[in-house]
Amino acid sequence: MDLLLKNISLHVTLTPEEQEKVLSFFSREQYPSKTRLLCANQQISKSYFVLSGILRNYYLDDQINEHTLSFSSPGWWMADMYSFLTQKQSTSYIEVLEDADVLIITAERRDALFEEVPKIERYFRIIIERSLIANQQRLLDNLSLTAQERYERFNKRYPTIKNCLAQKQIASYLGITPEFFSKMKKNLLKNK
């Protein structure tokens, strides 16, 4: 729980009472690796704050190809933003890659929390602003860099978690096929 409060305190200052109130809006769960926290076409959407473990958020096109939108390690948020924010049916999947301990809040609860502890709305504004910036940067990377360059950038950005990921998961994040990822990696080694 401390991890969430610590994260919040980076952006807004809460009194001890407010901190307690905030935490009361969350529930806490533990999930083993491979648990599916969300599937496409579900109605109820939640937002997860990772205390420990790793989560992955991905989309399927035509029920075939996976496209990973994000990985979340401790201290990061994870949600199907589309369904969480619009209250419509989910379009993506969230799965546990490493045994996870998470705090959970639903969209309704979050709205209630905003009324109860207004400062928290600033916290969410700020982290969403940061998500947006990161997302724009990733879009630009996809428009201007080659797969290999994106891979190198990925390694820098996610130094801690890349070791526990399957290659096909990294490939689906970079936007290439597992086969091509394999060849590219081989090439990278050869040239260094």
Q: DSSP string spanning 81-145?
A: HHHHHH-S---SEEEEEEEEEEEEEEHHHHHHHHHH-THHHHHHHHHHHHHHHHHHHHHHHHHHS
- Residue 147 binding partner per list DNA, a copy of itself, none, with a CB distance cut-off of 5 to 8 Å that depends on partner kind: DNA
Find the binder of a copy of itself among 30, 137, 155, 187 (CB under 8 A).
Answer: 137
Q: Is 30 left (phi over 0), alpha (psi -120 to 50) or beta?
A: beta
Candidates 5-13, 37-45, 118-126, 160-168; binding stretch for a copy of itself (CB under 8 A)? 118-126
Candidates 42-50, 103-111, 127-135, 172-180; binding stretch for DNA (CB under 7 A)? 172-180
Size of the site for DNA (CB under 7 A): 18
Q: In sequence order, what are the residues at sequence separation of 6 or more whose Cβ sits closer than 8 angstroms to the Cβ of residue 93?
A: 36, 38, 39, 40, 57, 58, 59, 60
Residue 178 DSSP one-character state: H
Backbone angles phi, psi at 110, to 5 degrees: -65, -40
- Residue 179 binding partner per list DNA, a copy of itself, none, with a CB distance cut-off of 5 to 8 Å that depends on partner kind: DNA
- Residue 67 binding partner per list DNA, a copy of itself, none, with a CB distance cut-off of 5 to 8 Å that depends on partner kind: a copy of itself
Interaction between residue 152 and DNA (CB under 7 A): no
- Residue 155 binding partner per list DNA, a copy of itself, none, with a CB distance cut-off of 5 to 8 Å that depends on partner kind: none
Token pair recorded at residue 58: 């991905």
How far CA 56 is from CA of 100, 164, 192, in Å, comes to 11, 12, 31
Interaction between residue 147 and DNA (CB under 7 A): yes
Candidates 1-9, 81-89, 94-102, 151-159; binding stretch for a copy of itself (CB under 8 A)? 81-89
Quote the least distance from Cβ 145 to DNA, whole Å.
8
Quote the least distance from Cβ 86 to DNA, whole Å.
28
Of 144, 38, 128, nearest to 91 by C-alpha is 38
**Residue in the structure block whose two tokens are 């700020």:** 126
Size of the site for a copy of itself (CB under 8 A): 31
Q: Which residues contribute to the site for DNA (CB under 7 A)? A: 146-148, 166-168, 175-186
